[in-house]
Amino acid sequence: MGQTITEKIFSEHVGREVYAGEIVRSPIDMVIGNDITTPISIRAFEEGGFEKLANPEGFAIVLDHFIPAKDIASANQAKISRDFAAKHDLKYFFDEKDMGIEHALLPEKGLVLPGDVIIGADSHTCTHG
């Protein structure tokens, strides 16, 4: 039986034919974080005792929901992400001077491409395909 485009993408990443309904372990091309969900992940990362990212080139943070900050809580969310990006010298950190809607910005910059496997904790991540 033929494969869907999603099955073909995962097959390419996993190194064997993959079909709907399977649970697979796949390499991830890009992890996307934003100013709402990233601070939660950062807290879990630090509480887990982790000190460095496994693939910093495959991790992007885009501050696009609360910038400019609407209140102190929003400003604190951005600060957590800024501090983490600075601490880990993230290449793909997008703040006020170089930002946009995360799901448009990353394809525009060529950081996510057709056929990539992308993960993000935002309901619009599926717009990447």
Residue 80: give its domain's CATH number.
3.30.499.10
pLDDT at residue 129, as a whole number: 65
In a domain, 45, yes or no: yes
Phi and psi based region of residue 49 (left: phi greater than 0; alpha: psi -120 to 50; beta: remaining): left
pLDDT at residue 97, as a whole number: 81
pLDDT at residue 65, as a whole number: 85
In a domain, 18, yes or no: no
Using alpha carbons, select from 104, 108, 94 the residue that is nearest to residue 38. Answer: 94
Structural tokens at position 91: 């290449």
In a domain, 3, yes or no: no
In a domain, 113, yes or no: yes
Domains in the chain: how many in total? 1
pLDDT at residue 63, as a whole number: 92
Contacts of 56 (CB under 8 A, 6+ apart): 88, 89, 90, 91
d(CA 121, CA 32): 8
Using alpha carbons, select from 113, 63, 48, 56 the residue that is nearest to residue 90. Answer: 56
What is the separation of C-alpha 18 from the centre of its chain, rounded to a whole number of angstroms?
Answer: 23
In a domain, 34, yes or no: yes
- The boundaries of the domain holding residue 66 are 28-128
pLDDT at residue 124, as a whole number: 81
d(CA 34, CA 65): 8
pLDDT tens-place values along the chain, 129 residues long = 799 999 999 999 999 999 999 999 999 999 999 989 999 999 999 999 999 999 999 999 999 888 888 999 999 999 999 999 999 999 999 998 887 788 888 999 999 999 999 999 888 888 776
Q: Is 31 helix (H, G, I), strand (E, B) or coil?
A: strand
pTM score, whole prediction:
0.88
What is the separation of C-alpha 121 from the centre of its chain, rounded to a whole number of angstroms?
Answer: 8
pLDDT at residue 117, as a whole number: 95
